[in-house]
Structure 1
Amino acid sequence: MKVGIIGNYGHNNNGDEAILTGILHQLTVEVGIKKEDIVIFSNNPDNTKARYDIQSVPLLYKEGNVLASGLKTVKESHQVMKKLDLLIIGGGGLLMDMYKRDAPLYSVLGMTGRRAGCKVIIYGVGAGPITTRAGRFFIRRLTQAARSISVRDQDSKKLLQSIGVQKNIEVIGDPAFSVPALKKHEPSKKIKKVGVTAVPYFSTQYWPEPDVAKYEAYVDGMAASLDRLIVEKEVEVTFFSTKYPEDVQVTKDIQAKMTEKDRVTLIDDNLHPTDIVSISAEQDLIIGTRLHSLILSVVAQTPIIGIGYHHKVHDFMDVLNRSELGVKIDHVRKETTAVFDVFETIEQKWETVQDDFVTVSKRLKEEAKLGLKQIIK
């Protein structure tokens, strides 16, 4: 079987790379497909080829204008796709219209795959936000082109049904749960080591519609929360990033605002997903904002506090059945105690919490394998 994989790969977003790593593990280890029979459609084919030693082609060919780019992309992608048996669209939060290119791009590529004779599947994706007429149109067209559809949470399923998707939609574990765990969290007597990931929330360098006041409020709130944990709970804080280098800058901004900045370690590296799992395994607790920093922590069986900057983080905490361990990002403020309060809740039943995360990690790894039937049938 020859397989193509389409997703938001090659952008040094190690959340997306974790998804790809998980899918590749499923294909090569669980299904037995050879690496030379896989091709990845990537934003940066050279980067992807170097990372995985797998053939990679452009996700989008950029010409002089949008129409020329679209025509070139369809023409070149069709030449690749007609040699494939299976085209996987996913995973990740692909079915949304927050960014203008996403819904049209993935829809056109899915329809191109179908015309090329591929079995097209939508695999372990997240959906939303979908707020525009154009977004709804393109996403429905993509689902019509697909042989089967799976999403990573119930809210994504409900959203797709609400915009008129008629096909059966399966709910599976995020493919990133198939990332191999070279290390796992070792139970501890108390919470001593705390890993932290951040996102440039409303940053002028990153966010589609920036808001300096919101960014500064988030940075100040995280700094104050971590200072209090260091002083009152005597924890050791380690920052690491899942999107490089954007997330490194926001962690540096948080550290700069901290009074206890000299008691913080900052890992300024572009980490592979397996490295993120290993770093997470070395911590007692992860306070994570990026979704896949939380997912990879659970892969490592490390307990988490989820900072909800996007509905997908709240959705994930619901998947864990631990919504009480989530904090809305707007509640992370210099004058609030939301993060500290959740920390104390975990601390009071620490042994039970650790046991629970071992159980949920195993469950979600098994649920991620549910999607294999889409591939092999």
Structure 2
Amino acid sequence: MKNIVISGYYGFNNLGDEAVLAGISSLLKRKREDLKITVLSAEPEQTADRYGLNAVSRTSVVQILAALAEADLFISGGGSLLQDVTGSFSVPYYLGLAWLARLQGTKTVYYAQGAGPLNKKWSQLLTAFSLNRFELLGVRDQGSQNLLQEIGVKKEIELTVDPVFALYDPLNNLKQQIKGKIEVGISVRPWSVDYISELAAALNQFAEGKKVKFIIFPMHQGSDEESSLQLQKKLKAEAEICALPPVPGEALKVFSQLDLFVGVRLHSLIFALLNQIPLLALSYDPKIEGLLSELDYLPLIKLEDLKADQAAAELENIFAARYSLRKKIKGFIKLKKAGAEDFAELVLEEVDTCES
């Protein structure tokens, strides 16, 4: 039996990161049922129970070293772990774990991550020095590949896809029910730009003369609720805040009956795409542009440029074209799921070359 240890932002009630873990683990276990996977988590008991995997505390050096001592492969990712915008801890923490693995002779894989922003010189140097010593590097978008090459990563970098696309299930995309209202899903998050009022004005403008119901989804429990409530109070049409199930597969199904989606968080947008929902992306980070770079038929507005009239017009456009857009999105998702499968095969090839 081969042992894999996975490190990421797991156990923090962030549904996007939980979906990343679900995508990686389901891909690997579907292809190799006998794999033993151990996750480094902030809530190891919860993670173990939710995914049927082993889990240890991400802050216990003793437990981490014990897991790595048995590991054949160490996976860093997915998500956007190597960035220095939210603090200076992420880069040394996640790369430090990889070095602990290497010191024990364990192979390391950078799994379909988004890289950056990396604004500090020491972050760039440490990242390049470390990633050049990984066995396999995979990034989820072209911008991340370009950034890593610019800061000095010489090793080949595979351009792959976010592992959440592995959760695509066409059975969740059956014909929508006939409803008396247009259901618009929304995901917002706190950010340095004050955009809630402008977004509310756009949504109110779109809802004029229509029967619309707005459903707001806090994707990161404990973080997104306040912004969601602020938006709800400013909306004139019916609006509710919907607490999503903590299990990614169940949360995905909640999106299935939406007609449109407006999202700030990356994985809220991917959840919408997995359900073939036409969307308006609001970008606070280059990773959003990375996702939309292959979807030129869907609109994107940067948060700092958000204006009510433009956003309302974009919503009108995608609503008018929603049936043709759903067909285009379906083809895109199929390609992305195949890409996720292909990268998992590369990871398993690394596992197969490990000495037992």
SS in 1 for 2:70: coil
Corresponding position: 1:77 with 2:64: yes
Give the aligned partner of residue 202 of structure 2: 225
The residue type equivalent to 1:11 in the other structure is F
**Structure 1 gap segments, 5+ residues each:** 62-72, 203-213
Give the aligned partner of residue 64 of structure 1: none
Q: Structure 1 321/332 Cα, relative in aligned 2: closer, same or farther at 3 Å? A: closer
Give the aligned partner of residue 328 of structure 1: 302
Contact 1:288 1:307 in 2 (8 A): yes
Give the aligned partner of residue 205 of structure 1: none
Corresponding position: 1:357 with 2:349: no
Corresponding position: 1:12 with 2:13: yes
The residue type equivalent to 2:191 in the other structure is Y
TM (norm. structure 1) is 0.86
The residue type equivalent to 1:95 in the other structure is L
Corresponding position: 1:163 with 2:151: yes
Alpha-carbon distance in 1 for matches of 2:51, 2:323: 38
The residue type equivalent to 1:157 in the other structure is Q
Q: Structure 1 236/90 Cα, relative in aligned 2: closer, same or farther at 3 Å? A: same
Alpha-carbon distance in 2 for matches of 1:350, 1:146: 43
Q: Structure 1 320/368 Cα, relative in aligned 2: closer, same or farther at 3 Å? A: farther
Give the aligned partner of residue 93 of structure 2: 105
Corresponding position: 1:92 with 2:82: no
The residue type equivalent to 1:369 in the other structure is E
1:332-373 per-residue CA deviation (whole Å, 9 max, x = no partner) reads 34xx31221111221333322111011111111111112113
The residue type equivalent to 2:42 in the other structure is N
Q: Could you say what the CA RMSD is over the residues aligned between the two structures, in angstroms?
A: 2.0
1:283-341 per-residue CA deviation (whole Å, 9 max, x = no partner) reads 0111111100111211222222111111111111103344x5111112334xx312211
Alpha-carbon distance in 1 for matches of 2:38, 2:160: 23
Contact 2:6 2:76 in 1 (8 A): yes
Alpha-carbon distance in 2 for matches of 1:49, 1:347: 41
SS in 1 for 2:273: helix
Give the aligned partner of residue 46 of structure 2: 47
Deviation at 1:186, TM superposition (A): 3.0
Alpha-carbon distance in 2 for matches of 1:285, 1:112: 45
Alpha-carbon distance in 2 for matches of 1:359, 1:137: 39
Deviation at 1:111, TM superposition (A): 1.1
Alpha-carbon distance in 1 for matches of 2:63, 2:166: 31
Alpha-carbon distance in 1 for matches of 2:145, 2:289: 15
The residue type equivalent to 2:172 in the other structure is K
Contact 2:56 2:63 in 1 (8 A): no
1:173-184 alignment, distance < 5 Å = 173-181=161-169, 183-184=172-173
Alpha-carbon distance in 1 for matches of 2:45, 2:265: 25
Contact 2:78 2:162 in 1 (8 A): yes
Alpha-carbon distance in 2 for matches of 1:351, 1:301: 10
1:28-54 per-residue CA deviation (whole Å, 9 max, x = no partner) reads 1133244xx110011222332232232
Contact 1:81 1:116 in 2 (8 A): yes
1:263-282 alignment, distance < 5 Å = 263-269=238-244, 271-282=246-257
Give the aligned partner of residue 223 of structure 2: 246
Corresponding position: 1:186 with 2:142: no
Deviation at 1:185, TM superposition (A): 5.6
Deviation at 1:376, TM superposition (A): 1.6
Deviation at 1:271, TM superposition (A): 3.4
Alpha-carbon distance in 2 for matches of 1:305, 1:312: 15
Taking every aligned residue pair, what percent have the same amino acid on both sides?
27
Alpha-carbon distance in 1 for matches of 2:248, 2:89: 26
SS in 2 for 1:94: coil
TM (norm. structure 2) is 0.91
Give the aligned partner of residue 106 of structure 2: 118
Corresponding position: 1:135 with 2:123: yes
Alpha-carbon distance in 1 for matches of 2:174, 2:129: 43
1:21-32 alignment, distance < 5 Å = 21-32=22-33
Q: Structure 1 258/124 Cα, relative in aligned 2: closer, same or farther at 3 Å? A: same
Deviates more, 1:93-102 or 1:180-189: 180-189
Give the aligned partner of residue 302 of structure 1: 277
| 1:235 counterpart (191, 194, 212) | 212
Contact 2:129 2:153 in 1 (8 A): no
Give the aligned partner of residue 344 of structure 1: 316
| 1:144 counterpart (121, 126, 132) | 132
**Structure 2 gap segments, 5+ residues each:** 350-356
Alpha-carbon distance in 1 for matches of 2:174, 2:312: 22
Q: Structure 1 163/313 Cα, relative in aligned 2: closer, same or farther at 3 Å? A: same
Contact 1:123 1:150 in 2 (8 A): yes
SS in 2 for 1:246: coil
SS in 2 for 1:314: helix
SS in 1 for 2:110: strand
State the number of aligned residues. 345
The residue type equivalent to 1:249 in the other structure is E
Alpha-carbon distance in 1 for matches of 2:317, 2:153: 40
Alpha-carbon distance in 2 for matches of 1:303, 1:187: 14
